[in-house]
């Protein structure tokens, strides 16, 4: 099991063609580095897809989920 102590939501929509390396570059640009046991959650503009990037202390894991109907309830930027 992968441990996640904190979860961070990306405020801006992300291009879902991005792989683990490009998502990690986004995390490093914002936070300076990826923290161990932290999860970083990204969505597309329509909130129908999400990607989760997790740093497990040794490397990163990237998981993806796509909805065929409906959308994720994602906070909107004010």
Cβ-contact 13, 43 below 8 angstroms: yes
Instruction: Give the span between the Cα atoms of 34 and 40, in whole angstroms.
Output: 9
Largest alpha-carbon pair distance within the chain?
Answer: 36
Cβ-contact 41, 52 below 8 angstroms: yes
What's the pTM?
0.85
What does the pLDDT read at residue 21? 93
| Residue ranges making up the domain that contains 25 | 6-66
Tell whether 77 is covered by a domain.
no
E-only strand ranges, 1-78: 6-9, 38-43, 49-55, 60-66
Q: Are strands 38-43 and 60-66 parallel, antiparallel or unpaired?
A: unpaired
Instruction: Provide the number of structural domains found in the chain.
Output: 1
Tell whether 72 is covered by a domain.
no
Tell whether 15 is covered by a domain.
yes
pLDDT digits (tens, 9 = 90+) for 32-76: 989 999 999 999 988 889 999 999 888 899 999 988 888 887 777
What does the pLDDT read at residue 77? 66
């Amino acid at each position: 099991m992968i441990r996640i102590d904190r979860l961070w939501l990306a405020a801006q929509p992300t291009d879902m063609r991005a792989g683990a390396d490009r998502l990690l570059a986004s995390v490093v640009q914002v936070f300076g580095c990826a923290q161990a046991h932290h999860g970083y959650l990204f969505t597309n503009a329509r909130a129908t897809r999400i990607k989760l990037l997790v740093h497990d202390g040794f490397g990163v894991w990237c998981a993806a989920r796509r909805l065929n109907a409906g959308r994720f309830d994602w906070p909107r930027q004010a």
